[in-house]
Structure 1
Amino acid sequence: MTDQMIRPVSDLRNNFADVSRVVHETGRPVFLTKNGFGDMVVLSMEAYEQLRFDSEIYDKLSEAERQAEATSVRFSVKDLLADMRREIEATGV
């Protein structure tokens, strides 16, 4: 990752408003150090939720790839949509 914002952890106490502004305006994390070593990462709630969403999507895609490797059965989009329509009609949704 380029252009990382790295600041001492004391900035949370001394410059909280600035740290908050940076994470909200840029959408990027601020890396905090303690005694010269990485200690914490601060993100806006929006950036954190996007990170979680991206991670969940990646996990689901990885699981789908593992399942696809375990079988030779394949489905077309047309077949899947037809199955979904039948399920919706059967449940009355």
Structure 2
Amino acid sequence: MPHIIPIKDLKNTAEISELCHVAEEPIYITKNGYGDMVIMSVEVYETTMKRLNMYRELELSERQIESGKTKDSKQSLGKLREKYEI
């Protein structure tokens, strides 16, 4: 369940920091009852960015497959072995 706190609670920085690390998910900040900001720990942010990048790479790969921009793996490995004499 998401954590939602009012903006006035941001005065308690130590408590908010602890909550960010314990919750291991974004914390939603409201202002006048409406969503205003989202905060999270650095660890959660980095994990989220890695996951987003992975999804982007998968989408790019799927588009390349759909458009026929693929190569035969045996031929590609053979060329690399030949090039680097391994």
Judge same fold: TM > 0.5, yes or no.
yes
Deviation, 1:73, is 4.5
- Unaligned residue ranges in structure 2 (runs of 5+): none
Q: CA RMSD in A?
A: 2.5
Correspondence for 1:68: 65
Any idea what SS the aligned residue of 1:10 has? helix
Given the two structures, how large is their TM-score scaled by the length of structure 2? 0.82
- How many aligned residue pairs are there? 85
Listed as ranges, the matches of 1:41-80 within 5 Å are 41-71=38-68, 73=70, 75-76=72-73, 79=74
Identify the match of residue 6 of structure 1 among 4, 7, 10: 4
- Unaligned residue ranges in structure 1 (runs of 5+): none
C-alpha distance 88-18 of structure 1, shift in aligned 2 (>3 A): farther
Correspondence for 2:77: 82
Listed as ranges, the matches of 1:7-26 within 5 Å are 7-13=5-11, 15-26=12-23
Q: Which amino acid aligns with 2:6?
A: P
Q: Displaced runs of 4+ in structure 1, greater than 2 A?
A: 72-76, 79-90
